Structure 1
Amino acid sequence: MKQLLLLPMALLCMHAFAQNDAALKYSNAITAADLKKHLTIIASDEFEGRETGTEGQRKAAAYIEAQFKAIGLKPIPALKGYQQYYPLYQDSLQNTTLNINGTAATFGTDFIIPMNTNESGKFKGKKIVFVGYGIDDAAYSDYTNINVKGKVVVFFLGEPKKDGKYIISGATRGSEWTFPGITKKLATAASKGAVGALVINANQETFNPRTVENGKKTGVYFPSEKNGTKTINYASISHGFAKQLVGDDFNFDSYLASAKTLAPFTINGFEKKMAVNYVFTKGRNTIMASNVLGMIEGTDKKDEYVFLTGHYDHLGKRNGKIYYGADDDGSGTCGVIQMATAFAKAAAAGDKPRRTLVFMTVSGEEKGLWGSEYYSDHPVFPLEKTTVDLNTDMVGRVDTERKTADTLNYVYVIGHDKLSSDLPIINEGMNSKYTNLVLDYKFDDPNDPNRIYFRSDHYNFARKGVPILFFYDGMLKSDYHQPTDTVDKINFELYEKRVKMIFHTAWEIANRNDMLKRDIPLTMGSR
């Protein structure tokens, strides 16, 4: 009986050795020369900085799709192709009026209408009521014993502090009442029956010409989903106009001083009869952007998914200068292409992954993680069956602020102690076996002032519960977000080594028996 058991065990060991040997063999398809070849194209003049919503971004998407096809990646069945398109909006003012007791307020002097947080519509109210910061939270509420049904609410932007910390978050960083802030406050007012809102920015006494022009036409923006949440329209009003509204019955200057220091309001609910008539109409131009996806179907676990991601957009062209984005994130984009090449060679040779591999380059990251937000809200593969997202954003440079002996042999890893206890074991094991990079976890500190965990596309997987690792070179100074982020600054030897390490981590996760455990709560807060 014991002898019979030895054979399966021996076969299992041989299989594991063959798998690991195969991983090493196919990782050699990832070369500095090929990374440079792709990066020289991605970060070229032709793509003009790849700003989301521009022709340069569309050219880059077409190039990545062509590479995925040439490599042999399959298109995504749900997309009937390689690109997941999502809408961006650009709005222009057509008509707006704000009448108070029959007198027309002046657009640009008394009020403006922020277009990307207002939809065409109108409201009427017979009373205004002051509700402080417009917050209703267990830790602090401006709505206690106040009835706003059928009325127009007036509130300040921001949220209160006490002893240097925000009351709601208990920290030096604000809560969701600051960001997304206005949308949450409007939804709260709507839920309490308010018909509209007048909003005051304590730090904006009047509207400068640029703000007024922005109130006539927006830049391109991503329409964050309201998920059926009811909201109301609003106008931003100047301090002088706000003072006229409340009159002598309300000490506006005193409340303004409190709002400037984010002091809590102890008395709210000031109410005044006032006929408010608001009309707003805007036109909309829709511009399509896209994420680019390709896949290698797995074998016995093909209904589980390993994602390899990077963003291919950058800052575009400004004042005649191209922001090339070679490191940010041409390096991650080309890393994804090269890892796809290595896995495709393995699959073609009969070494297909057990899980389905999805290679996804997203746009909109520099604008606010738009493309990954859209994917996470419209996934083409079940997120509960997505075992990991390995995100690569800036892996081609040496951090100019890193003054240690390992500057030519390191990578920052973010997410190792979050969501899954399997992550560091696998990543450290593969790195130790194949690449021996120094894995630096400093950006996983919850008190990291740079909040790196929230600043790239992995976050939109993490917020949905998908375990993530984010690989990053730490470049926050020097050429970061400058036109000088160019191909000649890349350290291709280190770049190749980092991409190979990510490849080996992906190989192991794609071929192990179990999906990654989801056993650690995400305690980093929110964006």
Structure 2
Amino acid sequence: MRKLLLPVSLGLCLFASAQKKNSPAYFAATITAEDMQRHLYTIASKEMEGRDTPSPGLEKAADYIENHFKSLGLLPGNNGSYRQNYPLYKDSMTSSSLKVNGTAFNITKDYQPIPSMSHTTELRFSEVVFVGYGIVDGSLDAYKDLNVRGKLVMLLDGMPADYKPTATGFNSPANVLSRVARAQEKGAAAVLIVYGNYPRQSFNASGSYMLNQYVAGIYPETFSISEGVAASITGVDGILGKMKASPLASQTYKANIDLSYIKTTLTASASNVLGMIEGTDKKDEYVFLTSHYDHVGKRPDGTIYYGADDDGSGTTGILELAEAFAKAKAAGKGPRRTIVFMTVSGEEKGLWGSNYYSNHPVFPLDKTTVDLNIDMIGRIGEEYLKDKDSTNYVYVIGDDKLSTDLATITDQVNKTVKMKLDRKYNDLNDKNRFYYRSDHYNFAEKGVPIIFYFNGVHADYHRPTDTPDKINYKLMAKRGQLVFYTAWEMANRNDMLKRDLKLEKP
């Protein structure tokens, strides 16, 4: 491994006791607690209404960010525009029906469509294939010796008493998505899932917004049904209990089934906000600094989730970093590589904005040397409340993956900032899976080296009490300065970061 060679100006500042004018330390010092407080009290204000994706409050926040970029003289980051818009789709059911041998059943009392797995259609079947719990996992195969291609499948909620899934959580073969996916793989046209919690109190006919309705394949039409509906098909009362007591064999039941589901689709959009400072001799290579400016919005009763730390703090950090680099550019100390400042939306809904960018990049991903992502840098996390370093730490996540340059550079620049760098969440077996839960991951999946800066969760995480008055602005500014020094080095070094480590997944 070659020895790290810092640019002369940064190398000097590492050992300078004063902030020499127009040095990296001079510009880093423009990232202040006072400026961060001013920005955050706007971004996490009542007027922004929790910045849900999509929402008028989100648009107000995007306008604020764009106007700040313009005021600094940043160039628009998307072919003449500061916005990268992406479409959103929201399905709403207009009607549905379920009949067994001519008998109509009632929605909510007897059955409910699963909107995320249902499509406008009318289907009629003369038989139903019962597949027990519908689990496929190792030697357990609910579809063994069964042909369900083009047929209606019925499966039960739950799992065998002696069965232990080979994976847990979202990846478990026993969760509903996995079981419907297995039915899809076997060619099923529709799925009925028997639940014991009927009648139900309500049904939300309006779905949630989704990022993409153009998919390579669709799920089978999927309804949940009561044990009463199941009995009308099979002749077996209390089928869930009987399956637990003595497993029922998979078999085909003759019954005339009518299924219908009619929906309409609303379209909306949200945007990522991009500003950039063009580089000099390496302007066709890119350093990305990212945060997400959305949060989770407000409750129906009007209670606002302010999202000051999550991720108003990171977004404020981007605004301050942009200003520091803009001042450096104006002083003739602009970066060699182009720096792109991008605040994304839809993170709380499933990393939407960064997902869209990574699949529709404005700048070549193979020329993007790094993404430094800031998500929650304004608080003291619960693990540090009583720690001696509570006001001088940050979690650094991902600097041991994809590139061996990441950790070396981080440690080198930290000789200036002198923070405790906590890397505990680099562990692939971390149960929190933080590495996979913020926008940097969509860059990492494309092979771009990343670092994720994070303060840890706290009592106000995803609560209405995550407000700007609880932010430690001095600590937040110091964390922002660490990102500044790191970005400065990565924007000015001779070589792009090596991509010499494989991205491993647990």
1:471 and 2:453 equivalent? yes
Structure 2 length-normalised TM = 0.88
Instruction: Decide whether aligned partners of structure 1 residues 332 and 15 sit closer, same or farther in structure 2, where only a CA change above 3 A counts.
Output: closer
Gaps of 5+ in 2: 15-21
Aligned twin of 1:426: 409
Q: Which amino acid aligns with 1:148?
A: V
CA distance in 2, matches of 1:161, 1:382: 51
Aligned twin of 1:149: 149
1:415 and 2:398 equivalent? yes
Q: Would you say the 8 A contact 2:6–2:493 is kept in 1?
A: no
Aligned Cα RMSD in Å?
2.9
CA distance in 1, matches of 2:279, 2:43: 29
CA distance in 2, matches of 1:362, 1:161: 45
1:313 and 2:309 equivalent? no
Aligned twin of 1:406: 389
SS of structure 2 residue aligned to 1:499: helix
Residue 185 of structure 1, CA deviation: 4.4
Query: Per-residue displacement from partner, 1:313-345 (whole Å, max 9, x unpaired)?
Result: 122233333222211111100101111111222
Residue 436 of structure 1, CA deviation: 0.5
Instruction: Decide whether aligned partners of structure 1 residues 14 and 509 sit closer, same or farther in structure 2, where only a CA change above 3 A counts.
Output: closer
Q: Would you say the 8 A contact 1:410–1:439 is kept in 2?
A: yes
Residue 90 of structure 1, CA deviation: 3.2
Aligned twin of 1:206: 198
Aligned twin of 2:19: none
Residue 23 of structure 1, CA deviation: 2.3
For residue 283 of structure 1, the aligned residue among 252, 256, 264 is: 264
SS of structure 1 residue aligned to 2:304: strand
Aligned twin of 2:183: 189
For residue 175 of structure 1, the aligned residue among 161, 171, 178 is: 171
Q: Which amino acid aligns with 1:446?
A: L
CA distance in 1, matches of 2:420, 2:493: 24
Query: Per-residue displacement from partner, 1:253-289 (whole Å, max 9, x unpaired)?
Result: 333579xxxxxx8x86421122222111112222222
Residue 472 of structure 1, CA deviation: 1.0
CA distance in 2, matches of 1:303, 1:382: 9
CA distance in 1, matches of 2:320, 2:199: 49
Aligned twin of 2:231: 243
CA distance in 2, matches of 1:77, 1:483: 34
Q: Would you say the 8 A contact 1:395–1:471 is kept in 2?
A: yes
Q: Paired residues, what number?
A: 493
CA distance in 1, matches of 2:464, 2:185: 46
CA distance in 1, matches of 2:227, 2:238: 13
Instruction: Decide whether aligned partners of structure 1 residues 489 and 467 sit closer, same or farther in structure 2, where only a CA change above 3 A counts.
Output: same
Aligned twin of 1:452: 434
Query: Per-residue displacement from partner, 1:118-164 (whole Å, max 9, x unpaired)?
Result: 2212323222112344454656533232211221112245777967x
1:300 and 2:281 equivalent? yes
Aligned twin of 1:127: 127
Q: Would you say the 8 A contact 1:191–1:230 is kept in 2?
A: no
Instruction: Decide whether aligned partners of structure 1 residues 145 and 303 sit closer, same or farther in structure 2, where only a CA change above 3 A counts.
Output: farther
CA distance in 2, matches of 1:122, 1:515: 55
SS of structure 1 residue aligned to 2:257: strand
Instruction: Decide whether aligned partners of structure 1 residues 26 and 52 sit closer, same or farther in structure 2, where only a CA change above 3 A counts.
Output: same
Q: Would you say the 8 A contact 2:136–2:173 is kept in 1?
A: no
Q: Would you say the 8 A contact 2:184–2:219 is kept in 1?
A: yes
Q: Would you say the 8 A contact 2:7–2:489 is kept in 1?
A: no
Identity within the alignment, %? 49
CA distance in 2, matches of 1:400, 1:485: 14
1:488 and 2:481 equivalent? no
Q: Would you say the 8 A contact 2:6–2:489 is kept in 1?
A: no
Aligned twin of 1:442: 424
Residue 178 of structure 1, CA deviation: 6.0
Structure 1 length-normalised TM = 0.85
Instruction: Decide whether aligned partners of structure 1 residues 384 and 160 sit closer, same or farther in structure 2, where only a CA change above 3 A counts.
Output: farther
Aligned twin of 1:54: 55
Aligned twin of 2:340: 358
Aligned twin of 2:362: 380
Instruction: Decide whether aligned partners of structure 1 residues 449 and 192 sit closer, same or farther in structure 2, where only a CA change above 3 A counts.
Output: closer
For residue 210 of structure 2, the aligned residue among 214, 222, 232 is: 222
- Comparing 334-343 and 100-109, the one that deviates more: 100-109
Aligned twin of 2:18: none
Q: Would you say the 8 A contact 2:9–2:23 is kept in 1?
A: no
Q: Which amino acid aligns with 1:497?
A: K
Gaps of 5+ in 1: 1-10, 259-264
Instruction: Decide whether aligned partners of structure 1 residues 73 and 520 sit closer, same or farther in structure 2, where only a CA change above 3 A counts.
Output: same
Q: Which amino acid aligns with 2:87?
A: P
Q: Which amino acid aligns with 1:508?
A: E
SS of structure 2 residue aligned to 1:316: coil
Instruction: Decide whether aligned partners of structure 1 residues 95 and 113 sit closer, same or farther in structure 2, where only a CA change above 3 A counts.
Output: same
CA distance in 2, matches of 1:268, 1:174: 28
SS of structure 2 residue aligned to 1:209: coil
- Comparing 60-69 and 345-354, the one that deviates more: 345-354
CA distance in 1, matches of 2:76, 2:159: 47
Aligned twin of 1:270: 251
CA distance in 2, matches of 1:363, 1:289: 7
Query: Per-residue displacement from partner, 1:417-438 (whole Å, max 9, x unpaired)?
Result: 2222221111111112x20100
CA distance in 1, matches of 2:68, 2:56: 18
SS of structure 2 residue aligned to 1:450: coil
Query: Per-residue displacement from partner, 1:143-200 (whole Å, max 9, x unpaired)?
Result: 232211221112245777967x522x3xx54516467x52x54454344332211123
